[in-house]
Amino acid sequence: MAQAALRPTVRGPTFIRLLARLAEVDVAASGQSLPDRLGQWLDWKHALSLAAALDGRPVAPTVDAPAPEDLHGQCKRAREVLATAIKDDPLLAARASAPAEPDYAAFRQLCLARQRTMQATVGRLRGTLRDALAQASPDMARLAEVDAVMEAALTPREHALLAQVTELLGRRFERLRAAGQASTPWLDGFRRDMQSVLLAELDLRFQPVDALLAALRTP
C-alpha cells in the first residue's frame, strides 16, 4: 500500500490513467513533440497524401451542407447508444450471477465486440461529418481531406494499440482472482474496472468526431 501511495500521478486522458492504474505501472511522459511522433507513424505514402490534402486547391461546395445541429444530434444519439450498451450489459452488472470458477473468456469476447462496434460507429460518423465539411466551404473541404488521410494512416496503429486493452484486462482479472479467490466482491470490482475502461475508450475514440463537429460550428 505504501508503494502504491508513492506512485506518481499519471497525466493524460482518463483512458490512459485508467489503464496505468489497472496495470499498476508508471507511465512517463513522452519527451517527443506531436509532430515528431506523427513523423514516426506516417509512412511516405501517407505523408505524400497529407501534403497533397494540405496543398490542394479547395473545391467550392455544390450543395448546401447539413445543419450542424442535426449532425450533432446524430452523433450524440450514436454515442449514447454505445455508452448505454456498455453500462447495461448483463455481464458487467454488479452482483450478476457467476460460475463457481469465473473465466475471463466471456469478458474478452465482450470487450472485443464493444471495440468493434465503437470503431465501426466512429468510422461511419467521421465519414458523414467529412461529407458535410466538404459541402460547407473550400477550407472545410480541405480539412475533410486531411482527416480522411489521418484516419487511413493512424487507424491500423490505433487498432493495434487498443487491441492490447483486452490483454491488460485479462491480467487484471487474473490478479484479482488470485487475490480474492472465487468470491463475488473481486468479480464485481473487475466488472466496474472493465466498464470504466470501455467508457473511457469510447470518449477517446470520439475525439475526432468531436473535433469535426466543432469545425462545422465554426463561423
- Of 185 and 37, the one with more pLDDT: 185
For the segment 200-214, the average pLDDT, to the nearest whole number, is 94
Angstrom distance (rounded) from CA 72 to CA 80? 12
C-alpha cell at 170: 485479462
What global pTM score does this model have? 0.80
Angstrom distance (rounded) from CA 27 to CA 109? 27
Count CB atoms within 10 A of the CB of residue 13.
Answer: 13
For the segment 75-86, the average pLDDT, to the nearest whole number, is 97
- Of 65 and 202, the one with more pLDDT: 202
Instruction: Say what the alpha-carbon torsion angle 7, 11, 50, 129 is, to the nearest 10 degrees.
Output: 130
